Amino acid sequence: MTHQTGTIAPMRRRVVISGLGPVSCFGVGIDPLWTALLEGRSGMAPVRAFDAGGMLCRLGAEIPAGFSVRDFVPKTYRKATKVMARDIEIAVAAARAATLDANILTRGFCEDGQTPTYEGARIGCSIGAGLIAAEIPELSAAFVTATNDAGAFDYDKWGAEGINNLTPLWLLKYLPNMLACHVTIVHGAEGPSNTITCAEASGLLSVGESRAVIERSDAELCFSGSAESKISPLGYNRLECAKRLARTDPDADPTSFVRPFDPDAPGSIPGEGGGILLLEEREAARSRNARPYAEILGFGAGQSSIRGDARARSEGLTNAIERALEDAEVAPGEVDAIVPGAQGATEVDDAEAAALREVFADRLPNIPLITLTPNLGSTYAGAGGLALSVAALCLRHQTLPARLHAGRCPDDLDAGPAPTRDARLRRILVCTTALGGQNAAVLLTTPE
Amino acid sequence: MVAPGADNRRVVITGTGWVTPLGNDVESVWSKLLSGASAIAPLTRFPAQSFATNFGAEVRSFDLAHFLADTDLHTKSHLHVKFALAAAAQAWKQAGLGDVSRPGQTHAGFPDLNRKRVGIYLGSGEGTLDFENYARACIDSWRAESRTSDSVAWAHSTREHFDPEYEVEQEPNLAIAHLAEAFGVRGPAFNCMTACAASTQAVGEAYCMLRRGDADLMIVGGSHTMLHPLGMTGFIRLTAMSTRRDDPATASRPFDSTRDGFVMGEGAGILILERLDHARARGATPLCEVVGYGSSADAYRITDIQPDGLGAVESMREALMHAGIDPHKPDALGRPPVQYISAHGTGTKENDSIETRAVRGVFADQAPRIPFSSVKSMLGHLIQAAGAVELITCVQAIRTGFVPPTINLNHPDPVCDLDYVPNTARDLRDSGGVEIAMSNGFGFGGQNDTVLIRRFDPSR
């Protein structure tokens, strides 16, 4: 580790994104996602994973059937997939997809005579995660072995016997750090490893931190991003409690509910997924002839009050965006597009819009917003990894994907329906605000 | 010797706060730790009599109103969030930033504090499940004939019985949210969950952020309780906890040959970290300086530690290298290169022998000379809060010249052959006290983190 001391600011090592592993309602990897976005498709459909008939919201944007994490781990690791909750499966698949995209060989996938692209100690990992919901049938089957005569849960019976009906490794399936843990094991990433749990901001915060890890020479390569699935009874229940979800009328068009920044938006609809990006030190990437998607030019974070009006709740995001621009030495007028959280839940969107107005002022109406929730649903902790992946693809292809919107937008926000179009894109800002008041912003630019 | 750093690259600790099973303020907890007191007893939080592990270390006599005058915003907070608020209030006051226990002082403090430049980095745990209502919903929605859950029935039951506000408060980023409300924070805010390494990592990453210039001052640390039915269940099934039901007070036996697992504790440890130039400008008194941080992953197995402790070796080496300390050489006074190590020392067979091997691997011949104790013998294992609570132990060792003991260490284990400060605290003042202390945190899942702190020397 070569931490610098001294009064002169050291030359910063620069960090590029050289691989993308998005997982979304369109499947694993770049192609299904990018194609669907260009075609303006939405993944909203009635929930398959459980009977959502008791929920206000009965739609979701789920990963297509047929997804199996076993396809993304070495044969020797297939047994370990039994202790992976859905969130972990998403992260593990995304990490593998990212290494393939970046043409990076890691320990778990080396065949005889091959050596990994990077030494393990030089590979970091930071994966944002949510609180993973335990699978209800698994716990219920055990709980019912410990009930009293009235049919209620009985602690004495549970401690004495019922508890043994849970599999010994039960806890490990649900620890948030197990996303990163499995990825580090599969890929032999022995450098700094972290798990950020700040809801929707988790992915961007992870990428900001991974960039700092590479910048300060603690790693050359980092798996970074986020993953989550809230498509579960507990996930929907908590989101209902937080008053975030749309009540979905079964007769209405499933794509009509999510309307970012619409003052009359009915609420959000959960999706599942995430994205793992490979962050790489720029010179190291260059020396192996990698073709980066983007350079991470700036990062900022800030905390808002979780109470008060939209202005009060926007302070942290304003601070995050301003800090990211300052870090990148970029003026607000030099931003060509913005990927906001845009959940379609008015309380969040109002705060985001207030921050964007504060920072971009008169220029805001001319900056296209790339809104992903009408296509992908709200992916919570997974959103940051997905949003950064899409931003990187926009830079690569110099294209803005089609935008869905079934409602109305404020006049000063370029967020209404639009077809896929070419655009000159040098710098894209990705930003989000989280339930809990954390905010983060990342500024990407086309690589030199 | 490390080259002198500019004030804007140096990071000092200016405040500390403890909510622990041995008490809820730094001075009284410290004296209990030095006297070798145990906080471990049968659990009172829920009926745990029949559990294989029916004991733990609970925070007692805790009242948030004692620390924070304005508690209205925090009534639906989970217990660990209240612990974090109370520990942060102590740290905030010690740092000279204001006394939030007095009414009307919510956003009080150093008048020129730029709230956009004040951040938070916690390794806070998740909230506590509304277990009885959750279990009721699970039981009522179970369909025995098909061995499935009726999720519609589950939804109806939870909607009827859950308190929506309490449910939202479950999320692991809510401790930050409440701290931000209480202390007016608008700068960068992070929460990490790397299990038992989390709050060591939070301190280390915050240290890097301050050095990078991302903030001027940060509230850092951790807070957690898993003393609830599913928390205990999870660790009982992993057979990670002691089952010494007949003698809870001596059940936590780090490094002893009769150790049979860790003992669950709860609490919070919060520190104020700030860049030295910022501390100087507001006339704050540094308690210690943070001088090194190392982080690594075992990348080995989900259930086991790398047998040679290579990940732990790596995190310790990085922290030492960063601080410019040669682990093989005594210091200028002939003392070992580090004068105190706060062990991760959980009391599991595996951790304690591997951690011993790792410390030997790093310090070689100097290892047996270093006092290396585990306060988990007294406080239990505070899981995500452990690292920050134990770092404050290091701050106190530097400030006072005493190091706390590892209690219940009566049966030497041949594979644990270092100086664990058995049973009695040690007075190091005659040999110059503690100049440099190391705190280790190793998490289930393979994260390893080390933070090094040093006595503050304004002339360096």
* Contact predicate B80/B174, CB 8 Å: no
A125: three-class secondary structure by DSSP: strand
Distance CA B364, CA B253 (A): 25
Angle at the Cα of B391 from the Cα atoms of B267 and B449, rounded to 5 degrees: 100
pLDDT for residue A2 is more than 60: no
Shortest alpha-carbon distance between residue B410 and chain A (Å): 31
CB-CB: which of B138, B188, B321 is closest to A136?
A: B138
A28: three-class secondary structure by DSSP: strand
User: What letter does residue B4 receive in the DSSP assignment?
Assistant: P
Confirm or reject contact between A240 and chain B (CB < 8 A).
yes
Interface of A with B in 120-149 (CB under 8 A): 120-121, 125, 129-131, 134, 136-137, 139-141, 143-144, 147
Shortest alpha-carbon distance between residue A359 and chain B (Å): 15
* Contact predicate B236/A163, CB 8 Å: yes
Facing residues of B449 across strands?
A: B295, B441
Q: Mark A41-75 as b/e (b = at least 16 C-beta within 10 Å).
A: ebbbeebebbbbebbbbbbbbbbeeebebeebbee
Q: For chain A, give every residue range classified as CATH 3.40.47.10.
A: 15-133+174-445
Alpha carbon separation from A71 to A112, A176, B405 (Å, rounded): 20, 22, 50
Q: Amino acid letter at B170?
A: Q
- Our CA dihedral for A265, A269, A273, A278, rounded to 10 degrees, sits at 10
What pLDDT is attached to residue A8?
A: 47
Nearest to B298 by CA among A99, A170, A193: A193
CB-CB: which of B142, B148, B297 is closest to A190?
A: B297
Element spanning A216, H or E: none
What pLDDT is attached to residue B188?
A: 98
Helices (H) and strands (E) in chain B, counts: 13, 16
* Contact predicate A104/A118, CB 8 Å: yes
What pLDDT is attached to residue B112?
A: 73
- Side-chain-side CA neighbours of residue A361 (13 Å): 4
Distance CA B295, CA B319 (A): 8
CB-CB: which of A53, A120, A305 is closest to B152?
A: A53
CB-CB: which of B51, B186, B318 is closest to A319?
A: B186
pLDDT in tens, A144-173: 999 999 999 999 999 999 999 999 999 999
A69: three-class secondary structure by DSSP: helix
Residue A11: band (very low, low, confident or very high) from pLDDT cuts 50, 70, 90: confident
Distance CA A190, CA A116 (A): 13
The CATH class, in words, for A15-133+174-445 is alpha beta
Q: Specify burial of residue B281 (Cβ count, 10 A radius: 0-12, 13-18, 19+).
A: middle
Give Cβ neighbours of residue A119 (< 8 Å, ≥ 6 apart): none
Place of tokens 């499947």: A27
Q: Is B344 a catalytic residue?
A: yes
CB contact (8 A) between residue B237 and residue A51: no
Residue A8, Cβ neighbours under 10 Å: how many? 7
CB-CB: which of B135, B173, B300 is closest to A199?
A: B173
Best to test chain A binding among B126, B150, B186 (most A CBs inside 10 Å): B186
Return the axis-axis angle of helices B151-161 and B131-140, rounded to nearest 10°.
150
* Contact predicate B361/B327, CB 8 Å: no
Q: For chain B, give every residue range classified as CATH 3.40.47.10.
A: 14-129+172-281, 293-454
Shortest alpha-carbon distance between residue A180 and chain B (Å): 8
The CATH superfamily holding the domain B14-129+172-281 is Thiolase/Chalcone synthase (3.40.47.10)
B402: three-class secondary structure by DSSP: strand
Residue B42, Cβ neighbours under 10 Å: how many? 12
Give ipTM to 2 decimals: 0.97
Nearest to A319 by CA among A359, A281, A361: A359
Structure tokens that stand for A77 in this block: 């690791």
Taking only the tens of pLDDT, chain B with its 460 residues reads: 334 468 889 999 999 999 999 999 999 999 999 999 999 999 999 999 999 999 999 999 999 999 999 999 999 999 999 999 999 999 999 999 999 998 876 555 556 789 999 999 999 999 999 999 999 999 999 999 999 999 999 999 999 999 999 999 999 999 999 999 999 999 999 999 999 999 999 999 999 999 999 999 999 999 999 999 999 999 999 999 999 999 999 999 999 999 999 999 999 999 999 999 999 999 999 999 999 999 999 999 998 999 999 999 999 999 999 999 999 999 999 999 999 999 999 999 999 999 999 999 999 999 999 999 999 999 999 999 999 999 999 999 999 999 999 999 999 999 999 999 999 999 999 999 999 999 999 998 999 999 999 999 988 8
CB-CB: which of A50, A152, A171 is closest to B237?
A: A171
What pLDDT is attached to residue B111?
A: 64
- Domain at B293-454, CATH from 3.40.50.150, 3.20.20.150, 3.40.47.10, 3.40.50.300: 3.40.47.10
CB contact (8 A) between residue A51 and residue B150: yes
- Side-chain-side CA neighbours of residue A94 (13 Å): 35
pLDDT in tens, A383-432: 999 999 999 999 999 999 999 999 999 999 999 999 999 999 999 999 99
Q: Which residues of A touch B171 (CB under 8 A)?
A: 130-131, 199, 238, 435-436
Distance CA B121, CA A204 (A): 15
Place of tokens 């849970």: A166
Give the residue with greater pLDDT, B56 vs A6. B56
Confirm or reject contact between B1 and chain A (CB < 8 A).
no
Give the residue with greater pLDDT, A6 vs B76. B76
CB contact (8 A) between residue B144 and residue A144: yes
Best to test chain B binding among A135, A177, A213 (most B CBs inside 10 Å): A177
Q: Is B208 a catalytic residue?
A: no
Q: Is B196 a catalytic residue?
A: yes
pLDDT for residue A25 is more than 70: yes
Cα-flanking dihedrals φ and ψ of residue B308, to 5°? -95, 5
Sign of CA dihedral A378, A380, A386, A391: positive
* Contact predicate B267/B59, CB 8 Å: yes
pLDDT in tens, A165-216: 999 999 999 999 999 999 999 999 999 999 999 999 999 999 999 999 999 9
Confirm or reject contact between B297 and chain A (CB < 8 A).
yes
What pLDDT is attached to residue A7?
A: 41
Pairing of strands B447-454, B436-442: antiparallel
Element spanning B291, H or E: strand B288-297
Give Cβ neighbours of residue A212 (< 8 Å, ≥ 6 apart): A299, B208, B209, B212
Best to test chain B binding among A197, A234, A239 (most B CBs inside 10 Å): A197
* Contact predicate B202/B126, CB 8 Å: no
Q: Specify burial of residue A311 (Cβ count, 10 A radius: 0-12, 13-18, 19+).
A: middle
Q: Which residues of A touch B167 (CB under 8 A)?
A: 237-238, 241-242
End-to-end CA distance of chain B: 10
Q: Which of B196, B288, B394, B416 is catalytic?
A: B196
CB contact (8 A) between residue A5 and residue B321: no
Confirm or reject contact between B415 and chain A (CB < 8 A).
no
Distance CA B394, CA A130 (A): 32
Element spanning B34, H or E: helix B26-34
